[in-house]
Amino acid sequence: MGASLMIVEDGARARPDLRLAMAGEGYEIAEAGDGEDALDQLRLNGPPDVVMVDLVLGDMDGFSCIREIRREHDVPIMVVTDRSDTHDVVAALEAGADDFVAEPFEIKEVTARVRALRRRAERAPGRDPRRQVLDADPGRALELARDRGTVRRGDEDVHLTLTEFRLLCELADEAGRVVSRAALLDRVWGGEFFGDERIVDVHVRRLRKKIERDPSEPRIVVTVRGLGYRLDLQQ
């Protein structure tokens, strides 16, 4: 069985071209005309390998659709839309998208990005047996467990997306050292990624909301102005 892809789009603007192009790449295509339809299909059939979401989706906009998908699934999500200003890019990534491509686009670029998303998902963490205590907060220690692919704060799981987990692992591997945005972009998103470094900043903000005691004053993932980010172990 080939890889599967869901296209969530409420009109005929981009979906026919996407469907033909991705089918030509060997994907099994599922289509949803709105967010509710997409969520129903995901609950019934389980997640595909990649979901493509337009931001303009009738009653449930694309941002809400992405958030709802992300509540239940860790499937790679790519936004494909004609809304391309900075606010939309950041809002889509904050909602939980992994990548963003604006119309008009080259089909070859979209297919390359989808392949890159799949490769990142296939390189899911979990084989490295090391575990690190990132924050030794008494009773609520933050532990990164690569062997389980999990992060726990005390007795509770911290639910990270695959991208957030990979980002945390890369920073933890270099604990105490600055990692540039360019290096993180290459290591987490891969050399095939066509976007810019803003995506790193957005995912760092999302990660901080989940792992920091006070996200407004981060102590674990700190910004080194002009250089990048550094993970400081809280012992």
Cβ–Cβ under 8 Å, residues 205 and 182: no
Q: Among 2-6, 43-47, 126-130, 191-195, where is mean pLDDT lowest?
A: 126-130
Terminal CA-CA length for the chain: 48
Q: Looking at residues 79-89, what average pLDDT do you find?
A: 79
Per DSSP (E only), the strands in 108-173 are 131-135, 142-145, 150-153, 156-157
Characterise 26 by phi-psi region: left (phi > 0), alpha (psi -120 to 50), beta (else): left
How far apart CA 145 and CA 122 sit, in angstroms, is: 18
Taken in order of first residue, the domains within the chain and their CATH numbers are 4-122 (3.40.50.2300), 131-231 (1.10.10.10)
Digit-coded pLDDT (tens) for 156-165? 999 988 889 9
* Residue, of 118 and 123, whose pLDDT is higher: 118
* Contact by Cβ (8 Å): 202, 177: no
Contact present, 66 and 90 (Cβ < 8 Å): no
User: Starting at the edge strand that comes first in sequence, how are the strands of the sheet with 50-53 ordered?
Assistant: 28-32, 4-8, 50-53, 77-81, 99-102
Predicted local distance difference test score (pLDDT) of residue 126: 45
Q: How confident is the model at residue 127 (pLDDT cuts 50, 70, 90)?
A: very low
Q: Which residues contact 184 (CB under 8 A, 6 or more apart)?
A: 167, 170, 171, 200, 228, 229
For the chain, give the mean pLDDT. Answer: 84
